[in-house]
Amino acid sequence: MPASLQIKVWSVLVYVVVTAVLAIWLHPSALFAAGAFG
């Protein structure tokens, strides 16, 4: 696998993992905010 392609694959993987972690971490906060202000 070329190095540039490997870097691209890892970048996508890291992006997906970070996005998933942020979504899971923010999800309860978003629900709480919606419940508190809704």
Tens digit of pLDDT for each residue in 1-38? 789 999 999 999 999 999 888 888 887 777 777 777 75
CA angle 3, 5, 8 (to 5 degrees): 110
pTM here is 0.56
The whole domain housing 10 covers 3-36
Q: How many domains does the chain have?
A: 1
Question: Tell me, what's the pLDDT at 34?
Answer: 73
CB hemisphere CA count around 38 (13 angstroms):
6
Q: Tokens 């993987």 map to which residue?
A: 13
Please give the radius of gyration of the chain, using alpha carbons only, rounded to the nearest integer. 16
Question: Tell me, what's the pLDDT at 38?
Answer: 58
